[in-house]
Chain A
Amino acid sequence: MEEKVLKRGQEELRKQVLETRLCTGCGACIDLCPYYRSYRGKTAVLFPCVIDEGRCFAYCPKIEVDLDELSGRLFGKPYDGNPLGSYQSITAAQAGDRLKDIAPQAGGTVSALMYFALKKGYIDGAALTDRKGLIPVPRFVTDAEDVLACSTSKYTAAPTLSAVNQAVKDGYKNIGLVGTPCQVLATALMRSNPLKADDFVDPFGLVVGLFCTWAIDFRLFEPFLAERIEISRIRKIDIPPPPSEILEVFGDNGTKLEISLDEIRAIVPNGCSYCIDMTSEFSDLSVGVMEGRPDMNTLIVRTDRGRKIVEEAEKEGYLTLSTMPEENLEHLIWAAGNKKKRGLAKAQDEGMVNTSDDETKAYLRMSVEVLGRLTA
């Protein structure tokens, strides 16, 4: 009997991620080869590729993600379905005194961490997300000062991981990344040597994950905003921490437009509704806003190398840490657990979890016990 080749290439990705609109435009498949391009928030396949096993498939966080394997590689234990993922500690954090004057959006913890990591050589470059007009664009910086230019929140998906792929090609060995949970999941795939290369080295020096409930589809967001404000006049967009439930758009003449999040939820990418990860569970460090405290962040330390950088940064005054209030932690666990249950239920309903059929690939794989517990 002829042996069936299990193809894990462009065609499978196109059919099962792009055409099913699971793609969030994270950029993991971009700049590896000439066949994928990201344009205005959307991933395009330019030409068919005939390679059976491609990195595009291997790095994609929306297909064949084996959570046990990833958790084993990063944290040395199987995936247990904890709402916040695997972690060592959770604290409140904000940019330290040394960065007070240039403190960016919210607590500034992310900028502080990347600034510090670059300055001290923990990483040799950082893949961040900048903005060109309304369009978020990847930017690879090697100078700590450039970190601050990318510091504002973007609410639409950006192909930031393409900057990682380019940096790897350019020979960077300790890459830093700030990314959303889907992007961080892709980094975990990249770090796990999915194609079993002999000369594999983990290219990342520090992965900082952001908290994310969903992103906004750029291609829908632009006309959505255009109906409400002249696009060229927009200076800043912000979603204040819960329970405000609004998106604020600041114009150049001091105007402020408030849009209900219910309206925004209608233009969230389809792929976000299957996501089970609110806190970037496969990062070194995860950071989010802290409810009721716009000047503070929640900081989750997950790995040893993440912990080391946080400790050093605090010691040198780049980061200020304090105890996380108990009620905030409880609420975070509740919110993250809800997202996990909601996304998983949807994915399982649609036959996308632990699928055995060769023809249709699974989106996620996890142990039957954990799956049972999360969907009970």
Chain B
Amino acid sequence: MSYLIDTKEGASYLVMGNEAIVRGALEAGVNVASGYPGTPSSEIIESLSTVAKERNLYVEWSVNEKVALEVAAAASFAQLRALCVMKQNGVNVASDFLLHLVGSGTRGGFVLVTCDDPGALSSVNEGESRYFARLMEIPLLEPGTFQEAKEMTKWAFELSEELRQIVVVRSVTRMSHASGNITYGKLSDVKRTAEFKFNGFVLDQDEGIVISAPVAWKHQQQQEKVKKAREIFEESPFNTYEGPKKPELLLITSSACYLYSKEAINVLGVEDRVGLLKLGTTWPLPPKLMIKHLSQADKVMVVEEVLPFLEENVKILAAERAGEIGIKTFYGKNDGTIPMTGELNPDLVIAALSTVLGIAYTPVPAEYDQTAQSSVASGAPAREQVFCPGCPHRASFFSIHNALEMDGREGFVCGDIGCYTMAIGSTGFHSLKTLHSMGSGTGVASGFGKLGQFGMNQPILAVCGDSTFYHAVIPALINAVHNKSDITLIVLDNSGTAMTGFQPHPGLDHNVLGEEVPSVDIARICEAIGARVEIRDPFDLEGTRETLNELIEDASGVKVLIMRKACALSPQRKNKKDYDVHVDETICVGEECGCGRLCTRIFGCPGLIWNEAQHKAEIDEVICVGCGVCADICPQGAIKREEVA
């Protein structure tokens, strides 16, 4: 049995923030959970799937975040408790449905968990999902500790039911992926039955039809819910204050920044000068609580990630109530005291706090810092992000790069989101020239492919992964076909959502619950849309390159090349070597004319190493997964492979 469903109340476990959220949902008696994989959110749905059977849950990886929110909404409409999980930019994808959902309202407790990624540790954006709460006019909760992550999630379902509105719980990478001790509460034993009622009065929230019209009336209802939330938040235990009654500086914070702020106050020893107001209910702000604390200090500093969301809302309140609380001096992002981009950490908060309080603080002697910096710079090898040994993407991009160079017309690839995003760098031979959101590579390519009438004659390529294909590429592909855009789409089909940890997607024949499900075939979809489709194994380098060149030259419209090879870490390939590979050093010419270290200097599989002393290439047998592709790139035939029986 998973420790996540330990029934012992008061049991203490060291869990990840994401697991604390899971436990909270289980204590709330969640029935349905859906989501789309995205770091740092993915463990929530995965963990729930592991206990789905015991807890009678329905858990799914949906095709994208919008559909995930719709799937979960259905459960709420049928009076079940529903959880929907995504990363920050997933909320953008789901936002159109969300806008209408907040108009119609909800029934069973419905919680949207968004895990933001300040500093873009695993993202190509550091989008702020908190603004959606204000934009959509729905309550926002931000846990500041691991215990709170659990309690807040549980409470969010109750709040949602009380308001008949979806509630957002916002985590961040350092909350979701860090671990802390939590104390368990009681697992819910409420049994819920799904029934969708629609025969009541049309405007009845519980038994009428679920729509966002009449809009003005529903919108007004929605704002009543916000007002109610504001009142409830006044008494929320998730808003806490530590410090003197009348502090010199009021520090307002939320989420992981609470811990940074606490540490900063402690390190500077300014507990008697600074009051720390930690907010768990960050939108709508509870005005009475805020006024109470704002009245006590002339200086106010707001510490948060990433944009000045809280800062702005506090300032609006302070302006509205200036007559009562007096004029404040604000410190935060807008005045530059705190960086406006990237992650915060205790050091940054210490620096900000010491400046505001006029404390001279140097964390380490300048000399020591300099020595540390220079020794790190000189001692550590340069490490770039690279594809794993045996990764099909390396082979795929080798062929894509070579096909484009041979074509010689300045063709380029519009990139997309997945491990293959790394092909903007040397590991993918700098192949990607645009990179935006899921599915955007194909959409942007569709546009480039129509610029022929303005003189563009560069070949236009796009790449996407298999999961991305289902998520958002299909509409863009339809657009390209229908509008006769001349593009070549390469689907890097590695049989799973590899980057986020191998979650199943609609192309596979099993789902997250391990059940057999119909797989949806990419090639047949593309053919039905009207594209010319070819399928190649990217480990056949020359065959793939030849096909690609032929497709690029075929100016008849949309071509799709599916490069099909399972990820080296996939269950099918993991720990299975196709070949034993070794270098015949009598043949390897190393740096000499005729090779120039192609394998270690250009191809760059981590399984290949350069022996400086011998001036020969070698195979790192510990790392090599035996894909054998390097034997095909070696110009001298020095890399030998033997099939593993």
Please judge, given known A-B contacts A34-B635, A39-B406, whether A47 and B602 are in contact too, CB under 8 Å.
yes
Judge if B549 is at the interface, Cβ distance under 8 Å: yes
B367 at the interface (CB under 8 A from A): no
Across the interface, which residues of B come within 8 angstroms of A55, CB to CB? Answer: 593-594
Q: How far is the CB of A28 from chain B (nearest CB, A)?
A: 14
Cβ-based interface call for B363 (8 A): no
Is A32 a contact partner of B596 (Cβ separation < 8 A)?
Answer: no
Q: How far is the CB of B522 from chain A (nearest CB, A)?
A: 29
Q: How far is the CB of A190 from chain B (nearest CB, A)?
A: 13
Measured between beta carbons, the chain A residues less than 8 angstroms from B601 are: 50
A106–chain B nearest beta-carbon distance, Å: 33
**B429 contact set on A, CB distance < 8 A:** 47
B598:A39 contact, CB within 8 angstroms: no
The one of B406, B591, B596, B602 that contacts A37, using a Cβ cutoff of 8 Å: B406
B401 within 8 Å of A (CB atoms): yes
Interfacial residues of chain A within 30-56, with CB under 8 A of chain B in the complex? 32-35, 37, 39-40, 42, 44-47, 49-51, 53-55
Asked if B435 is at the interface (CB within 8 A of a chain A CB), the reply is no
Question: Is there a chain A Cβ closer than 8 Å to B407's Cβ?
Answer: yes
* CA distance in complex: A223, B311 (Å): 63
Contact of A33 among B401, B406, B593 (CB under 8 A): B593
Check B408–A39 contact: CB distance below 8 A. yes
Q: Does B9 contact A (CB under 8 A)?
A: no
Choose among B405, B549, B591 the residue that contacts A46 (Cβ–Cβ < 8 A). Answer: B405
Give chain B interface residues in 543-602, CB to chain A under 8 Å: 549, 591-596, 598, 601-602
Identity of the chain A residue whose Cβ is nearest the Cβ of B403 in the assembled complex: A39
Which has the most chain A C-beta neighbours within 10 Å: B594, B595, B601?
B594
> Which residues from chain B contact A49 at a C-beta distance below 8 Å?
596
Which residue on chain B has the smallest CB distance to residue A45?
A: B405
B136 at the interface (CB under 8 A from A): no
Closest to B595 in A: A33
Most chain B CB within 10 A, of A39, A50, A195, is at A39
Q: Contacts of B405 on A, CB cut-off 8 Å?
A: 37, 44-46
A6 to chain B, nearest CB (A): 16
Smallest CB–CB gap between B11 and chain A, Å? 58
A-contact 0/1 string along B429-446, CB 8 Å cutoff = 100000000000000000
Number of interface residues, chain A, beta carbon within 8 A? 19
On chain B, the residues within 8 Å of A45 by CB distance are 405
- Least CB distance from A195 to B in Å reads 8
Within B356-370, which residues are at the interface with A (CB < 8 Å)?
A: none
| Least CB distance, A66 to chain B, in whole angstroms | 20
Query: What 1/0 mask marks residues of chain A from 91 to 131 whose CB sits below 8 Å from any chain B CB?
Result: 00000000000000000000000000000000000000000
Return chain B residues, CB-CB under 8 Å to A44: 405-408
If A33-B635, A39-B549 touch, whether A46 touches B596 (CB-CB below 8 Å) is no
Considering the chains assembled together, what is the distance between the CA atoms of A120 and B382 in angstroms? 60
Kindly list chain A residues whose C-beta atoms are within 8 Å of the C-beta of B427: none
- Residue from B402, B549, B596, B598 with most neighbouring chain A CB atoms (10 Å): B596
Q: Is the CB of A34 within 8 A of B593?
A: no
A322 and B635 CA atoms in complex are apart in Å by 48
Inter-chain CA distance A37–B401, complex, in Å, is 12
Expressed in whole angstroms, the Cα–Cα distance for A53 and B602 within the complex equals 19
CA distance A54 to B598 in the complex (A): 15
Complex Cα spacing A207 to B408, Å: 31
Verify A34–B595 contact, CB threshold 8 A.
yes
Q: Whose C-beta in chain B lies nearest to the C-beta of A9?
A: B593
Q: Given the complex of chains A and B, what is the CA–CA distance between A184 and B401 in angstroms? A: 32
Q: Which residues of B contact A50 (CB under 8 A)?
A: 596, 601
Smallest Cβ-Cβ distance to B402: which chain A residue: A46
Q: Is the CB of A47 within 8 A of B593?
A: no
Could you say which of A32, A39, A40, A42 contacts B593, with CB atoms under 8 Å apart? A32
A10 to B429, CA, bound (A): 18
Which residues of A lie under 8 Å from residue B598 when comparing CB positions? 33-35, 47
Closest to B591 in A: A51
How far is the CB of B302 from the nearest CB of chain A, in Å? 50
Residues of chain A contacted by B407 (CB below 8 angstroms): 39, 44
For B259, the chain A residues whose CB sits under 8 A away are none
Chain A residues with CB below 8 A from B633, complex form: 34
Contacts A34-B633, A39-B407: A51 and B402 contacting too (C-beta < 8 A)? no
B635 (CB) vs chain A CBs: closest residue:
A34
B596 touches A51 (CB 8 A): yes
A53 to B592, CA, bound (A): 10
Does A33 lie within 8 Å of B594, measured CB to CB? yes
When distances are taken between beta carbons in the complex, the residues of chain B under 8 Å from A46 are 401-402, 405-406
Taking a contact as CB atoms under 8 Å apart, the answer to whether B635 and A51 are in contact is: no
| Min C-beta distance of B444 to chain A, whole Å | 25
Q: With A and B bound together, what is the CA distance between A54 and B596 in angstroms?
A: 10
| Set of chain B residues within 8 Å of A37, measured between Cβ atoms | 402, 405-406
Task: Write the nearest CB–CB distance from B610 to chain A, whole angstroms.
Answer: 13
The distance in angstroms between the C-alpha atoms of A39 and B411, with both chains bound, is: 15
A355 to B593, CA, bound (A): 26
Distance in angstroms between the alpha carbons of A54 and B593 in the assembled complex: 6
Bound Cα distance A252, B635 (Å): 41
Bound state CA distance, A18 and B34, in angstroms? 55
Point out the residues of chain A lying under 8 angstroms from B595, CB to CB.
Answer: 33-34
Q: Is the CB of B596 within 8 A of A35?
A: yes
Complex interface: chain B residues within 8 A of A47 (CB): 429, 598, 602
- Shortest CB–CB separation between residue B394 and chain A, in angstroms? 14
Taking CB atoms, residues of chain B closer than 8 Å to A35 are: 596, 598
B549 to chain A: which residues have CB within 8 Å?
39
CB distance from A11 to the nearest CB of B (A): 12
In Å, the complex CA distance between A303 and B596 comes to 37
Complex Cα spacing A49 to B597, Å: 9
Give min CB distance, B433 to chain A, whole Å. 17
Residues of A within 8 A of B401 (CB): 46
- Bound-state CA distance A166–B549 (Å) is 23
Of A33, A34, A40, A45, chain B has the most CB atoms within 10 Å of the CB of: A34
Give the distance in Å from the alpha carbon of A47 to the alpha carbon of B594 in the complex.
Answer: 13
Question: How far, in whole Å, are A32 and B635 apart by their CA atoms in the complex?
Answer: 9
- Find chain B residues with CB under 8 A from A39 CB: 406-408, 549
How does the 8 Å CB contact mask read for B340-364 relative to A, with 1 for contact and 0 for none?
0000000000000000000000000
Contact of B592 with A51 in the complex, beta carbons under 8 Å: yes
In the bound complex, CA of A23 to CA of B594 (Å): 21
A53 close to B593 (CB less than 8 A): yes
Q: How far apart sit A53 and B593, CA to CA, in the bound complex (Å)?
A: 8
Assembled-state Cα–Cα distance A195/B594 (Å): 13
**Using Cβ atoms and an 8 Å threshold, which residues of chain A touch B402?**
37, 46
What distance in Å separates the Cβ of B589 from its nearest Cβ neighbour in chain A?
A: 9
Is B408 touching A51 in the complex (CB atoms < 8 A)? no
Query: How far is B598's CA from A42's CA once the two chains are assembled, in angstroms?
Result: 22
Report the minimum CB–CB distance from B573 to chain A (whole Å): 26
Cβ contacts under 8 Å, B596 to chain A = 33, 35, 49-51
Q: Mark B592-620, 1 if CB is under 8 A from A, else 0.
A: 11111010011000000000000000000
A53 and B401 alpha carbons, distance in the complex (Å): 25
Residue of A nearest to B637 (CB): A169
Contact among A42, A53, A195 with B408 in the assembled complex (CB-CB below 8 Å)? A42
Residues in B neighbouring A53, C-beta threshold 8 A: 593
Q: How far is the CB of B555 from chain A (nearest CB, A)?
A: 11
Chain B residues proximal to chain A, CB less than 8 Å: 401-402, 405-408, 429, 549, 591-596, 598, 601-602, 633, 635
A-B contact sample (20 more), CB < 8 A, given A34-B633, A47-B598: A32-B594, A33-B596, A34-B595, A34-B598, A34-B635, A35-B598, A37-B405, A39-B406, A39-B407, A39-B408, A44-B405, A44-B408, A46-B401, A46-B406, A50-B596, A51-B591, A51-B592, A53-B593, A55-B593, A195-B593
Between A and B, 26 residue pairs with Cβ closer than 8 Å are A33-B596, A33-B598, A34-B595, A34-B598, A34-B633, A34-B635, A35-B596, A35-B598, A37-B402, A37-B405, A39-B408, A44-B407, A44-B408, A45-B405, A46-B401, A46-B402, A46-B405, A47-B602, A49-B596, A50-B596, A50-B601, A51-B592, A51-B596, A55-B593, A55-B594, A195-B593
Closest 9 pairs (CB-CB, A-B): A39-B406, A34-B635, A44-B406, A44-B405, A49-B596, A34-B598, A47-B602, A46-B405, A54-B593
